[in-house]
Structure 1
Amino acid sequence: MKIGIIGSGNMGRSLGILWAEQGHQVFFGSRDSEKGKAVAQKAGLGTQGGTNDEAAAFADVILWTARGVMPSELLSNKEVLNGKIIIDCNNQDIPEEFAYPAIVESLAEKLASDVPNARVVKAFNTMAQEVFELAPAPLKDYQVSVFVAGDDEQARSTVMQLATVIGFAPVDSGVLRNARLVEGLGDFIRMIMIGQQQGSYATISVNVLPKAEQQRLGGRQASALY
């Protein structure tokens, strides 16, 4: 699979290298062509590097790490993204005392509004970069969840496969509107992580439990709540 990385910071570099290790063709993009080439040279594994425009044109799947910057601002021609899968892994800036406003439109939804003919998927926003250093093993033993939300079912499936091959446990999180909840979860995890001792990284693993053999507590009663 051809994967373009828009932005060559921590997230882009880490995921790009992991996917290249699994045999995918990876192109690291940057505003500065020489920076993109430098990341590719350091990564090795047959990766390429250059401008964001070149990465967008190269790829079938794009990891968008430019937080809050839209394709119409960053690319010379955003139409190059038409039909392509765009993974948005971004979270909001951390406000003072973690006093986040309610998310009425997610970063992923804003991205999708800017490129309505692309297939935007929210994923990889709920863990620190240090977690990627454990991939794919021993990470796979910990069943760390990646929450995947997008309106296109095939695009969600592709992103879930990309999560699985590097040791994560993907969770199909439904339509792109649910990215509001996924981004809120990312904010919560960062709050917990920052409150822990240095070197400790919070994650979430969603486990499926067996049904109780007996309902000694009376079972679920009818309610307006789930």
Structure 2
Amino acid sequence: MKIGILGSGNMGRSLGILWAEQKHEVFFGSRTAEKGQAVAESAGNNTQGGTNDEAAAFGDVLLYTIRGVNPAEVLTSIDVLDGKILIDCNNYEIPENFAYQPIELSLAEKLASEVPQALVVKAFNTMAQEVFELSPQPLNEYNVSVFVAGDDEDARKMVMSLAADIGFAPVDCGELRFSRLIEGLGDFIRYLIIGQKLGGYATISVETLPEAKNQRLGGRQSSSLH
């Protein structure tokens, strides 16, 4: 798969390197060609580097790491994004004392409204960069979930495949509107790591449990809750 990285900070650099290790073709984009080229030189694995425009033109799948910024401010023309999968891995900034407001519009939905011809998919926003250092081993032993939401089913499946390639356990979360829940989950994870100072790097693993053979507690009774 040809993958373009728009913005080569911690997230872009880390995911780009991991995908390149799995033999995907990766192009690191940045505000200047020099910075993108420097990241590619450091990354190795036949990666390329240059401007964000070049990365957008190169990739069939694009990772958008530039939080809350309209692609029209990043690219010469957003037409280059038409029909491409655009992964949004961003969270809102952490407010003072972690006093988050309810997410009425996710960053992913905002991005989709700005580039309506792109296939925006939310993913990779619920773990710290340090977790990527464990990929693919021993990461895949911990069943770390990547929550994936997007309106296009094929685009979701592609991103889920890319997550599995680097040792994560993808979870299909359905339509893009559910990215509000995923971004809220990212806020909670950051609270655990930073606010609660748990030590290490908290993640979430979704497990599907079997139904109990014996309903010794009486089973679920009818109630007003659904």
Range class of TM-score, shorter chain: over 0.9
Task: Specify the SS of the correspondent of 1:213.
Answer: coil
CA deviation after TM superposition for structure 1 residue 198, in Å? 7.7
**Matched residues in 2 for 1:20 and 1:29: separation?**
14
* Alignment-mate amino acid for residue 160 of structure 1: M
CA deviation after TM superposition for structure 1 residue 196, in Å? 4.7
**Matched residues in 2 for 1:83 and 1:194: separation?**
37
1:23 paired with 2:32, answer no
**RMSD of aligned Cα (Å):** 1.0
**Matched residues in 2 for 1:73 and 1:150: separation?**
23
Give the match for residue 102 of structure 1: 102
Give the match for residue 121 of structure 2: 121
Give the match for residue 161 of structure 2: 161
**Structure 1 residue ranges without an equivalent (≥5):** none
CA deviation after TM superposition for structure 1 residue 225, in Å? 2.7
Give the match for residue 172 of structure 2: 172
**Matched residues in 2 for 1:156 and 1:133: separation?**
24
Give the match for residue 8 of structure 2: 8
1:49 paired with 2:46, answer no
1:61 paired with 2:61, answer yes
Give the match for residue 111 of structure 1: 111
Task: Specify the SS of the correspondent of 2:109.
Answer: helix
Give the match for residue 194 of structure 1: 194
CA deviation after TM superposition for structure 1 residue 72, in Å? 1.2
Provide Cα deviations, 1:64-97, integer angstroms capped at 9, x if missing partner. 0000111111111001000000000000000000
CA deviation after TM superposition for structure 1 residue 218, in Å? 1.5
Structure 1 residue ranges, 4+ long, deviating more than 3 angstroms after superposition: 195-199
Q: Number of aligned pairs? A: 226
**Matched residues in 2 for 1:152 and 1:91: separation?**
21
Task: Specify the SS of the correspondent of 1:50.
Answer: strand
Identity in percent: 72
**Matched residues in 2 for 1:194 and 1:133: separation?**
19
**Matched residues in 2 for 1:176 and 1:197: separation?**
31
**Matched residues in 2 for 1:180 and 1:173: separation?**
11
**Matched residues in 2 for 1:180 and 1:222: separation?**
30
Task: Specify the SS of the correspondent of 2:156.
Answer: helix
**Matched residues in 1 for 2:32 and 2:225: separation?**
51
* Alignment-mate amino acid for residue 124 of structure 1: F
**Structure 2 residue ranges without an equivalent (≥5):** none
Distance change in 2, residues 1:103/1:58 (3 Å): same
Q: Is the 8 A contact 2:15 2:132 kept in 1?
A: yes
Give the match for residue 36 of structure 2: 36
Task: Specify the SS of the correspondent of 1:28.
Answer: strand
TM-score by length of 1: 0.98
Give the match for residue 134 of structure 1: 134
**Matched residues in 2 for 1:31 and 1:91: separation?**
21
* Alignment-mate amino acid for residue 161 of structure 1: S
